């Protein structure tokens, strides 16, 4: 039976570059918050937007101008699942449910996952994907 590794924790810098009021350092996101923000960055990044990693990101923005129906929602689920599996190694068993909201001209995404190497309950958050003008 393989040995399961337990990680000490995850830290990412906040991309808002806000300062800590006391230490004047850049704010740090830890553990669950760091992974949640990383998944949101994967969703929001358009492939070829990052010069040194042109494959990074997801193609969900191209689907926002299609019909807001369950067919497009299924395509979005597949795209997000592949993007999270490829670019977020700290997550496993990612489950994405995309709910079309035609009255709001958007898709509601419910993203559930477990964190590798930590004894925390499965995580879940909701994200509203809408076309910007």
Encode pLDDT of 18-32 as tens digits.
777 787 777 776 777
CATH number, residue 105: 3.10.450.40
Q: What is the pLDDT of residue 88?
A: 87
Give CA–CA dist 94/88, Å, rounded: 10
Residue 6 resides in a domain: no
Residue 42 resides in a domain: yes
% of the chain surpassing 90 pLDDT: 12
Report helix, strand or coil for 128: strand
Q: What is the pLDDT of residue 51?
A: 83
pLDDT tens digits for range 82-124 = 999 999 888 888 899 999 988 888 889 999 998 887 778 888 9
Cα 104 → chain centroid: 21
Q: What is the pLDDT of residue 115?
A: 85
Q: What is the pLDDT of residue 38?
A: 86
Burial of 75 (0-12, 13-18, 19+ CB in 10 A): middle
Q: What is the pLDDT of residue 63?
A: 77
Give CA–CA dist 21/47, Å, rounded: 35
Can you give the residue range of the structural domain that contains 90?
Answer: 11-130
Residue 122 resides in a domain: yes
Residue 107 resides in a domain: yes
Cα 61 → chain centroid: 14
Residue 58 resides in a domain: yes
Q: What is the pLDDT of residue 97?
A: 94
């Amino acid at each position: 039976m393989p040995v399961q590794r337990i990680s000490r924790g995850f830290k990412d810098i906040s991309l808002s570059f806000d300062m800590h009021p006391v230490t004047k350092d850049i704010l740090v996101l830890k553990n669950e918050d760091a992974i949640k923000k990383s998944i949101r960055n994967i969703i929001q990044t358009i492939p070829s937007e990052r010069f040194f990693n042109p494959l990074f990101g997801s193609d969900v923005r191209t689907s926002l101008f299609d019909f807001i129906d369950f067919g497009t929602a299924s395509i979005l689920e597949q795209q997000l699942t592949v993007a999270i599996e490829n670019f977020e190694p700290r997550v496993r068993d990612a489950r994405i449910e995309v709910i079309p909201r035609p009255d709001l001209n958007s898709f509601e995404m419910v993203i559930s996952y477990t964190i590798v190497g930590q004894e925390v309950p499965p995580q879940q958050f909701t994200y509203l994907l809408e076309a910007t003008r």
